[in-house]
Amino acid sequence: MPKVVFLLVPDVHLLEIAAPAQVFSVAADIGLAYTLSYVSEQPTVATVQGVALTADTQWPDLDRKDLLIVPGWRGPTRMIDTATTERLRAHHAAGGTVASVCAGADTLGRAGLLDGRRCTTHHTIQEELARRYPAATVVRDVLYVSDDRVVTCAGAASATDLALHLLSARHGASTASTVARTLVAHSWRDGTDDQVSPVLRYRSHLDEAVHRVQNLIDNRFAERLPLRVLAAEAGCSPRTVTRQFQQATGITPLAYQQSLRVQRAEHLMQRGATAEAAARQVGFVDGRMLRRLRSRATQRDDNR
């Protein structure tokens, strides 16, 4: 049963806790076995919004499936005990994921988790973060950045996008889409223009027939899916499903499927799989197509 553990600091912002907590709470409601817990260096935590919160001072046992989230607070920095930063560092070293919202990135920086990685934070404290952690690459004016199981986001409103991204990476786009709809989050925002995130990038539309086709592709992206199968899901002809899909998303169903395959393959390679093994696992015959698609994506990024 994976845990989502929130590290609370004084003057924490309520929405930066509540937004990701709500996402994972809904995920638990639909059958995913998440448990939520809240830890702090003190049993009572003041919030900027005036509500006092209680938290455990003893940390739960963690394994690599668990997720640590550090919500932000008012101001650029807060003193964090060395034992706390060591727990964050140890969890990541053991294969776990650590995330932050807004100023919470400072705590990840204190733990050394931003060194050599891309990250972001709220636009008002980006320069301060870059000054404090010169070994980090602070990406300006984006919603969120994910780099080697260290995920940082800009602020309270983007915390929902961050949590949906984490959920999608773990359980697939269809599951994250179900949670988003339960939350009435009809518009999914991508983290950055440069980040390949097909779920968020191509789900910000209201065409229910296309959403059904996308759900089918999400669940079976490693399979060969003829247009007639997609058309049957949408209740229209093969020619019409292609046209509707392009109108809603800007790309073809095949391009969408390939983007999902590449995203999943990159996740597998981050976990230690070879490019060849990852390519076969996501449905490519061998690694050549995966390398070609990744190269195209890199060239597009370089031209932006």
Residue with tokens 């924490």: 12
Please give the model's pTM, rounded to 2 decimal places. Answer: 0.66
CA distance 281 to 268: 9
Given CA atoms 113, 115, 117, 120 in this order, what sign does their dihedral have? positive
Cβ count within 10 A of residue 284: 22
CB burial of 94-127 (b: ≥16 within 10 Å; e: otherwise) equals: eebbbbbbbbbbbbbbbbbbbeebbbbbbeebbe
CB neighbour class for 186 (10 Å; exposed up to 12, middle 13-18, buried from 19): exposed
Token pair of 206 as six digits: 């209201």
Of the listed ranges 28-32, 219-223, 295-299, the least confidently predicted one is: 295-299
Token pair of 9 as six digits: 């600091």
Token pair of 78 as six digits: 């807060």
Higher pLDDT, 90 or 124: 90
Binning pLDDT at 50, 70 and 90, where does residue 200 land? low
| pLDDT greater than 60 at residue 194 | no
Three-state SS for 163? helix
pLDDT of residue 299: 57
| pLDDT greater than 80 at residue 93 | yes
Of the listed ranges 15-24, 112-121, 179-188, 287-296, the least confidently predicted one is: 179-188
pLDDT digits (tens, 9 = 90+) for 245-264: 999 999 999 999 998 998 88
pLDDT digits (tens, 9 = 90+) for 129-179: 999 999 999 998 788 999 999 999 988 888 998 999 899 888 887 888 889
Token pair of 142 as six digits: 């984006």
